């Protein structure tokens, strides 16, 4: 396995998800936008799983589980964001589960925090 190519794949895909999340949230498609915020961070962490293990990441979406597979030391606020994003990752995968839609202001705050965490994760590669 080409580790460098795998990391590039996860980061490039993560960047696309983050860009799309911003577009969706700006256009009032908040739940799916927040789902993509989760996906962005999931993929960025998976790049670190590849870096740390030399293997493909597990096919799992739990951010805490994935973080444990790395050498990352997230701050309390970063971990809190990951917990928040987990709430929205379910929306796209489990029909009938509809989390409360946050306000546009709160959604933009989550998006901005996601952008910050993504940049931090990318810089750690």
pLDDT in tens, 76-124: 999 999 999 999 986 556 666 677 889 999 999 999 999 999 999 999 9
Whole-number pLDDT of residue 100? 84
| Residue 36 near residue 21 (C-beta atoms within 8 A) | yes
**If you average pLDDT over residues 42-63, what whole number do you get?**
98
Say how far apart CA 30 and CA 9 lie, in whole Å. 26
| Mean pLDDT score across all residues of the chain | 95
Total number of domains in the chain: 1
In whole angstroms, what separates CA 59 from the centre of its chain?
14
Whole-number pLDDT of residue 55? 97
CATH assignment of the domain containing 35: 1.20.120.330
- The residue range of the domain holding 119 is 3-123
């Amino acid at each position: 396995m080409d580790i460098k190519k795998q990391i590039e794949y996860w980061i490039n895909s993560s960047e696309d998800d983050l860009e799309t999340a911003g577009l969706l949230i700006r256009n009032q498609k908040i739940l799916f936008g927040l789902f993509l915020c989760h996906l962005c961070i999931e993929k960025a962490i998976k790049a670190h799983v590849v870096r740390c293990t030399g293997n493909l990441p597990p096919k799992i979406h739990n951010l805490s589980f994935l973080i444990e597979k790395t050498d990352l030391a997230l701050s309390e606020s970063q971990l809190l964001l990951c917990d928040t994003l987990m709430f929205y990752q379910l929306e796209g995968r489990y029909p009938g589960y509809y989390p409360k839609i946050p306000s546009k202001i709160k959604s933009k705050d989550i998006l901005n925090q996601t952008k910050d965490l993504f940049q931090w994760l990318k810089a750690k590669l």
